[in-house]
Amino acid sequence: MRLTRKNAAKAMNNTLEIIQIVSSVTGSVAVALTVVYLAIQVRASTRATYSQTYQTAVAALGDMAAIVAESKEKSRLYADGMADPDKLDKDEYLQFAYLGISLFRKYENAYFQYRSGMIDDAFWDGHRDNLLWFFHRPGTQRWWRERRLGFSKPFREYLESTSARDMAAQDDRYV
């Protein structure tokens, strides 16, 4: 077969088409591999964020328990305030109120993280029962009526839609 300009042009076109097909397939494979890689990275990042959120919530609630437990007086004050705030003088009630703000801010954050999907049901269920136990104490109810507007509407609505029956039985619990 004699190589003419026409045959050479046709051969060149075929070669270019083959190169274009190979390039297109290679590009598609590269894009697919990039998408898989990014999905793996996003999943790892999500797990790390989830883990960090869990750790932060646990630490915050643990720190609050440590604050209340750092002295006999503070522990008594908080227990008495939850049970019967009339046992407290004005300054003690103020201290009880600030401890309540601190505790419920931490629970508000945990609630937000739960609703955002960053805390799972297993974590939330245990902490929810603690939250509801604290919330449904007589002194906390009095404090809540005075301070409720300082918390987000979704958190307020959640708490106010609950009753002591919504938590696991804790009949013999003191604090």
Contact 166, 132 (CB under 8 A): yes
What is the signed CA dihedral for 29, 35, 39, 41, rounded to 10 degrees?
Answer: 90
Residue 146: count other Cβ atoms within 10 Å of its Cβ. Answer: 11
75 against 26, higher pLDDT: 75
Show the domain range for 74: 52-166
Question: Whole-model pTM?
Answer: 0.69
Count of domains forming the chain = 1
C-alpha 144/C-alpha 117 separation (Å) is 27
User: Is residue 98 left, alpha or beta, with left meaning phi > 0 and alpha meaning psi from -120 to 50?
Assistant: alpha
Find tokens 């996003």 and name the residue. Answer: 42
66 domain residue, yes or no: yes
47 domain residue, yes or no: no
143 domain residue, yes or no: yes
43 domain residue, yes or no: no
Reported as a single tens digit per residue, the pLDDT across 101-129 is 999 999 999 999 999 988 889 889 888 98
100 domain residue, yes or no: yes
34 domain residue, yes or no: no
92 domain residue, yes or no: yes
99 domain residue, yes or no: yes
What are the residue ranges of helices labelled H in 70-89? 72-83
